[in-house]
């Protein structure tokens, strides 16, 4: 074998940070911090504070491989934690505050989180579960004044945690396979399972998100992930946006407030945003009641439940948004397939296009998919043969964190999704059912995302909920 003479530089989240700071230093990150106030700074300022936080983590004794947990909404301080932990070699564990208290105790103890960052409104939640937590050594409140929440001195203020730290940090040279982030499946059947992402898988997933037939992200976009940063890392957007230089708008805890979200969209020029359907219902109702408000959004992301046809038609008719499906899950980081049209398909009859857009779409490059029958025999992509969907690829989990064996993974490395589907001859996947196999239905992570390719606008849905989540 003759090997190529090319450099073998590691794929790392650190490289995303360095690239964004150098090439897009003035691109903004905007966070809604109160109903009427926003915090605004640039990537350059953000990553300066990230270096301060990395020094603070080191001073607190956080070592490479240690888990650092967050219980927080979508804002600039949470963004800083993403990068300071992963780029210093630690692991960012985003905890879903909507889990049951016993599940919260389980995932924090199972991850063995040493340090916990929490939003001020999460303090009562922490007080309710802290006696069942055995591993957390320090709790830092994401605020500039901790006094209203910690008269006993038990909690520390984020700003005081980082303020005396230098803004220079020597980032370690990490192997690209180093673990970077940890997300637990929010299943109620059995204990949640930990999906441990690597620097390499995260960077490759970002490349996939930016592809034109995927999310189509670029430096011309203004992206607002209303989807929580604790939900599959907000679909990877906190990494992909700095990679492409997109302006990032974070709505804080105001995820269901139609007025605040509409104002953010209009004031900040948001072009793409993502949230569950109930959020878009709130935005739709606000727009209906305030007809003078012109929504500047070009593309919508919605998911987590079936999307009402009335909502789809409202945004299509008022804002020329087309609805398309795609598919993914926590175990896929989450992007697996995206329903973008092939050339010429836009000229198909309306009823055919309507039917096509109900599919979960075509695989994104490097996501290898197949369907197998009950005997494990691979089935053809002919639009009729059905089977369980199995998947493998560089951003697909190979196992679960601290779980020696996974029934969802076979000896050849394929991950069994539990979805039953057919593929047509154009590569479009149609999920029709679920198996009774090893992957609980409740683990499924629905996502709805939109993209735009050229002049075509489209709303993309990433879901594992099969027909129940289809519009």
pLDDT of residue 154: 84
Q: Is the pLDDT of residue 189 over 60?
A: yes
Which neighbouring-strand residues pair with 460?
Answer: 324, 449
Q: How confident is the model at residue 305 (pLDDT cuts 50, 70, 90)?
A: low
Integer CA distances (angstroms), 146 to 121, 152, 163, 400, in order: 12, 11, 14, 36
CA distance 315 to 318: 5
**Strand duo 91-94 + 67-71: pairing:** parallel
Reported as type and span, the H/E element at residue 49 is helix 43-59
Q: Quick one: which of 446, 456, 471, 463 has its CA closest to 298?
A: 456
Q: Is the pLDDT of residue 465 over 60?
A: no
pLDDT of residue 355: 80
Q: Is the pLDDT of residue 393 over 60?
A: yes
When pLDDT is averaged across residues 352-371 and rounded to a whole number, the result is 88
pLDDT digits (tens, 9 = 90+) for 313-344: 788 888 776 545 668 889 999 989 887 889 99
Q: Quick one: which of 467, 460, 465 has its CA closest to 443?
A: 465
Tokens linked to 77: 């301080």
Reported as type and span, the H/E element at residue 371 is strand 368-372
Per-position b or e across 260-269, b if 16+ CB within 10 A of its CB: bbbbbbeebe
Query: Higher confidence at residue 99 or residue 359?
Result: 99
pLDDT of residue 469: 31
The least confident of 75-89, 143-157, 208-222 is 143-157
Which neighbouring-strand residues pair with 138?
Answer: 115
- Report the SS3 class of residue 425: coil
Quick one: CA dihedral 439, 273, 283, 356, positive or negative?
A: negative
CA distance 394 to 366: 7
**Strand duo 415-423 + 387-392: pairing:** antiparallel
Burial of 451 per CB tally in 10 Å (0-12, 13-18, 19+): buried
Q: How many other C-beta atoms lie within 10 A of the C-beta of residue 4?
A: 6
Beta-sheet strand order (sheet of 387-392): 368-372, 387-392, 415-423, 429-434
pLDDT of residue 287: 87
Quick one: CA dihedral 236, 463, 309, 349, positive or negative?
A: positive
Tokens linked to 427: 């590569």
Domains present along the chain, CATH in parentheses = 33-165 (3.40.50.980), 201-399+406-469 (3.40.50.12780)
Tokens linked to 137: 């050594």
Reported as type and span, the H/E element at residue 239 is helix 237-244
pLDDT of residue 437: 45
pLDDT of residue 316: 80
Instruction: Count how many residues are written for the chain.
Output: 471
Averaged confidence pLDDT in the chain: 87
Integer CA distances (angstroms), 248 to 46, 224, 276, in order: 12, 6, 19
Q: With a threshold of 0.85, does the pTM exceed it?
A: yes
Q: Is the pLDDT of residue 168 over 60?
A: yes
When pLDDT is averaged across residues 12-28 and rounded to a whole number, the result is 98
Angle subtended at Cα 128 by Cα 124 and Cα 131, rounded to the nearest 5 degrees: 130
């Amino acid at each position: 074998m003759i090997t190529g003479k090319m450099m073998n530089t590691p794929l790392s989240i650190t490289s995303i940070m360095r690239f964004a700071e150098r090439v897009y230093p003035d691109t903004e990150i905007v966070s809604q911090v109160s109903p009427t106030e926003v915090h605004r700074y640039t990537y350059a300022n953000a990553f300066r504070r990230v270096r301060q936080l990395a020094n603070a983590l080191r001073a607190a004794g956080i070592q490479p491989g240690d888990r650092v947990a967050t219980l927080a909404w979508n804002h600039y301080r949470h963004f800083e934690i993403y990068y300071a932990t992963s780029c210093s070699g630690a692991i960012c564990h985003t905890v879903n505050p909507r889990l049951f208290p016993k599940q919260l105790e389980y995932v924090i103890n199972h991850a063995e989180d040493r340090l916990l960052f929490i939003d001020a409104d999460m303090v009562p939640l922490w007080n309710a579960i802290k006696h069942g937590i055995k591993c957390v050594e320090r709790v830092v409140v994401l605020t500039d004044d901790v006094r209203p929440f910690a008269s006993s001195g038990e909690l520390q203020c984020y700003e005081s945690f980082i303020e005396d730290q230098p803004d220079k940090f020597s980032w370690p040279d990490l192997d690209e396979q180093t673990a970077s982030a940890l997300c637990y499946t929010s299943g109620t059947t059995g204990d949640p399972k930990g999906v441990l992402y690597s620097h390499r898988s995260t960077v490759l997933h970002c490349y996939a998100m930016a592809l034109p037939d995927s999310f189509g992200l670029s430096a011309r976009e203004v992206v607002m992930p209303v989807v929580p940063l604790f939900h599959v890392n907000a679909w990877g957007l906190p990494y992909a946006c700095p990679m492409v230089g997109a302006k990032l708008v974070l709505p804080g805890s105001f995820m269901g407030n139609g007025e605040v979200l509409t104002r953010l969209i209009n004031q900040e020029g948001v072009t793409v945003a993502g949230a569950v359907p109930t959020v878009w219902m709130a935005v739709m109702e606000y727009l209906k009641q305030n007809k003078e408000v012109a929504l500047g959004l070009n593309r919508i992301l919605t998911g987590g439940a079936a999307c009402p046809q009335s909502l789809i038609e409202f945004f299509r008719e008022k804002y020329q948004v087309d609805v398309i499906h795609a598919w993914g899950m926590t175990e896929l980081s989450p992007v697996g397939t995206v329903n973008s049209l092939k050339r010429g398909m836009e000229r198909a009859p309306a009823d055919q296009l309507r039917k096509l857009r109900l599919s979960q779409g075509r695989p994104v490059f490097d996501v290898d998919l197949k369907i197998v029958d009950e005997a494990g025999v691979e089935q053809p992509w002919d639009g009729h043969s059905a089977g369980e969907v199995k998947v493998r690829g560089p951003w697909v989990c190979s196992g679960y964190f601290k779980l020696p064996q996974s029934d969802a993974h076979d000896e050849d490395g394929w991950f069994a999704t539990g979805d039953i589907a057919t593929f047509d001859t154009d590569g479009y996947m149609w999920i029709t059912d679920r198996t009774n196999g090893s992957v609980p239905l409740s683990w499924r992570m629905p996502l709805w995302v939109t993209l735009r390719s050229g002049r075509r606008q489209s709303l993309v849905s990433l879901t594992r909920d099969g027909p129940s989540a289809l519009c």
